[in-house]
Amino acid sequence: MFLIPNVRISVGIPPQREGWKSWLFNIHYFAEIDATTKGNYFYTPALSCNEQQWGLEIYPGGCIEAMDDRVSFVFYKLSGGGVSATFEVKILEQSPQGTFFYHPDDRRHLGWLDVFRRSDILNILDDNGTLALVISIKEEGLKPFIPKNPCQNMLQKKFLDEETSDVCFEVGSSDVAKVRTKRKRSTASVKFHAHSQILQICAPMLAALFATVTSNDGESAIASITDVEPDIFRHLLCYVYGGSVSEDVLKRDAKEIIETADKYSIVNLKLEAEAAYVESNDITVENVIDNLLYADAKNCALLKEAVLDFLAENSVEAAQNISFTDVPGHIINDLLVAFGRSKKSYGSGNVGDKYSTMRVSELRRMLDEKGLNVDGPREAMIEALKSSAAEIDI
């Protein structure tokens, strides 16, 4: 693809329609512009509409993907940001329209590759060989700028703010010196200043640690946590203050975050870490039982589902190579459900059957929509949904 140089284009103003902004481009000596090679192009001056800048590329011999004897027209975005826009190109009394969404980091184009035949266009050029092309963009009503609700940012700014805090966590001791990963751990205790009212609303179990703690006048009450790594607790507390934990950290420290979030009932963070663990770890014959027992102990329904799916899909190999001696009986029942789910169509049968064959993510989504607890084993989730459905029927 090469840019065709020295193309003469003059700009005029065609009749305007309500709700549209239009431009007239007179492309002089169009018949003389090289059209022997597909993919070669020239472009019009920039178009400005809806506070955005647009460009139009014209391929006299058609795009590489176009059929023979075609002139192709392709719109592209010059300014940043995502936006949707409706375009119209008018020639030969044809006015095809198209609407396209431009993502901020996406260079996708909107084009008409095969609509216009070159032979037809050459027959309607004026005496000077000029092609008159009308381009229109639908004008959108400009929406007023409204800032986002600042509460989350304001809350995050209070994270570790010692000046306004009234409680403090002292985290870390020799109890957390058990190294679970190759990453070097700190055994020194670290203080995390916090706010009791925020904890009472967003993390009641953390707030409860101060219920029996007394403090001197003017000093923050201090609660000691001896079974969590300081860096893991920092991620937990940051999440409580409306922050987020990076995907890399979630994958690297998934189990530790799951255990800490589970202990202090920061449910959403636990589910994020669980999803990261499932995504970043392969279930194998060698680790399947360890993962199954861990998922059962921590009520990680998504992880348990992944493990049971693996066993159901690899039942012969599992039967030959895995000992289920230490597996609790209720987990065997879960395995039978997984086998049944793999053989039944999704959502078949009555309401009870529908829930029993649903995936964990779908159960959690339904619970969240109803404002119910999304944590816990799948049996508890199903019972909660059945109870909710029964209350509606009454």
| pLDDT digits (tens), the chain, 394 positions | 788 999 999 998 888 888 888 999 999 999 999 888 898 999 888 888 877 788 889 999 988 888 899 888 888 777 766 666 788 888 755 555 554 444 434 445 667 777 788 988 888 888 888 988 888 888 675 566 678 889 889 999 999 999 999 999 999 865 544 444 445 555 578 999 999 999 999 999 999 999 887 777 768 899 999 989 999 999 999 999 999 999 999 999 999 999 999 999 999 999 999 999 999 999 999 999 999 999 999 999 999 999 988 888 888 888 888 887 777 777 777 777 666 665 554 444 444 467 877 889 999 999 999 999 999 888 899 999 988 887 765 5
pTM of the model: 0.61
* Separation between Cα atoms, residue 19 and residue 272, nearest integer Å: 46
* Separation between Cα atoms, residue 68 and residue 118, nearest integer Å: 9
Residues forming beta bridges with residue 75, ordered by sequence position: 56, 110
CA 92, 93, 98: angle at the middle one, nearest 5? 100
DSSP H or E stretch at residue 381: helix 378-393
* Separation between Cα atoms, residue 129 and residue 122, nearest integer Å: 8
Count the helix, strand and coil residues of the chain and give each as a percent rounded to the nearest 5.
Answer: 40, 20, 40
Helix axis angle, 254-263 to 267-280, nearest 10°: 160
- Give the other-Cβ count within 10 Å of 394's Cβ: 5
* Separation between Cα atoms, residue 388 and residue 172, nearest integer Å: 42
* Separation between Cα atoms, residue 194 and residue 171, nearest integer Å: 13
Contacts of 153 (CB under 8 A, 6+ apart): 242
* Separation between Cα atoms, residue 375 and residue 178, nearest integer Å: 28
Nearest alpha carbon to residue 377 among 323, 308, 276: 308
